[in-house]
Chain A
């Protein structure tokens, strides 16, 4: 089926073009991307100095950059990012494991499916952060309540992805395995899980940014060392440069997380068809 903008070669393998052409392509893509960003930064500078908005609202670019460098140099950034990430990753790990196990359970066991299905179906679209004050009531204002909230938010996409992945396994593959003498347990672990892996990884890829977002949000609400907490503090003390610095830093962390997961996916799914072609957004 031909598409509107650009075509993706589904079966043709990625050609190893000459180094020169690849470098040129890469450079032009970087240039194209930088162009808009450069324009954006220039507009920022212009606005900051024009007097249309006060220095207070939109600090000059240099002051933000200076603040970032200060925070990197003093190690402040690493401490804060480390705390935020450790909470996010802890929650993510638990959510990933529990979500996959629960998904598997729901696919195999009708009772589990009956019990959890409405809970997930009703719970998924709810803003679970609304329960944060209840968690604070129950678990206090330290890491436990933060991580619990992260787990609750991140687990849903993992569960649904696992279920979709397992249910979508081609029937004939399962039959082939049974045909070759595999027991039901072997079929589950050796065949269904690997077959469902692409979908499960997608669920994990959705869950990680959620974990980070919630980690930051809980810090803002409850205080504590971390990127979110620092940003809110800066906001309260009218330290505009720090607020923007924090935004850049959290974005960098978010970006690193997304890239890391993409890398893990590529590694784990090197056999999969999708790694053969370039993807869009």
Chain B
């Protein structure tokens, strides 16, 4: 087994708000992620899973511990680690096409090639015909597809997803999960997927990293490799048992997180 692509080594993170006390969000988290692996970060609200994602992405500075990507420490955001946010973060003044083109423009791709590539990814996520629409005209699901197309277009080798389907209704969410899996299977990348939904984590990921309540550390890492192509996988016995097993691990942390909030 080769060197892991992403190495998270004893990473802790403290939030220091303008007013109020310091909050320890992450407590000595250690994790290795292999190339092209689909990993889910699962845990209750406030457990620091998004924080860990932002640290890997370079949006927050790593103050304690190290994060290495392909052997080099993470310093800045960059197109090698593409991010998809829960609330889409589309540029509202640009059309879908304009949004998808942005990363390609920054990469200095020649005009003709980036137009072609943008169209390719717009088609891939199923937004053909909406290239010239503005985000304010799109539904939640469509916005998330646009955000996905935008990030995939500049071909990051790592995909960071921050509860990307959290703002969608449950039907759209199910559809998007299936589509994401299809896309990933078509062009495998390393994916780190943050969610609080156990079933989503088990369905999508090959490994589920269960995090504790704040201050977050890794409680357990469960293998969830299934044959995702199997029909009605969600109703299969092994799937349900796996979800159950993980849910019990999470439940305790969710209750602890609740208490933390009320105190």
Contact = CB atoms under 8 A, between A and B. Distances in A.
Contacts of B90: 173
Given A186-B106, A272-B136, A179 B78 contact: yes
Kindly state the interface size class of chain B when it binds its partner. Answer: 20 to 34
A58 interface: no
Contacts of A176: 83, 85, 89, 91, 150
22 contacts: A170-B87, A170-B89, A172-B85, A173-B90, A175-B83, A176-B150, A177-B102, A178-B77, A179-B77, A179-B78, A179-B81, A179-B103, A180-B150, A181-B79, A181-B106, A271-B92, A271-B93, A271-B95, A272-B93, A273-B92, A273-B136, A276-B136
B223 to A, nearest CB: 30
Interface of B: 54, 57, 59, 76-79, 81-83, 85, 87, 89-95, 102-103, 106-107, 134-137, 150-151, 154
A172 B79 contact: no
Nearest to B160: A179
Nearest to B136: A273
Given A179-B57, A180-B102, A181-B106, A272 B92 contact: yes
Q: How large is the interface on A (under 10, 10 to 19, 20 to 34, 35 or more residues)?
A: 20 to 34
A60 interface: no
B87 A13 contact: no
A82 interface: no
Interface string A156-195: 0000000000000010110111111110001000010011
A170 B76 CA distance: 19
A197 interface: yes
B87 to A, nearest CB: 6
A178 B77 CA distance: 6
Nearest to B102: A180
Nearest to B106: A181
Contacts of B87: 170, 172
Contacts of B94: 271
B89 A180 contact: no
A114 B82 CA distance: 36
Main secondary structure of the interface of B (DSSP, over half): loop
A181 B91 contact: no
Contact of B106 (A173, A182, A276): A182
A172 B91 CA distance: 10
A273 B154 CA distance: 28
A13 B134 CA distance: 13
A173 B57 contact: no
Residue among B79, B94, B102 with the highest chain A CB neighbour number at 10 A: B102
B62 to A, nearest CB: 16
Interface string A217-235: 0000000000000000000
Interface centre among A170, A172, A191 (most CB of B within 10 A): A172
A178 B76 contact: yes
A276 B137 CA distance: 9
Across the A-B interface, the 10 shortest Cβ-Cβ residue pairs: A180-B103, A172-B89, A181-B106, A178-B77, A271-B134, A273-B136, A172-B85, A176-B89, A194-B93, A181-B79
B91 A179 contact: no
Given A177-B102, A179-B79, A194-B91, 15 more contacts: A13-B137, A170-B87, A173-B91, A176-B91, A179-B57, A179-B83, A180-B107, A181-B79, A182-B106, A191-B91, A271-B94, A271-B136, A272-B136, A273-B136, A276-B136
Contact of B154 (A180, A191, A197): A180
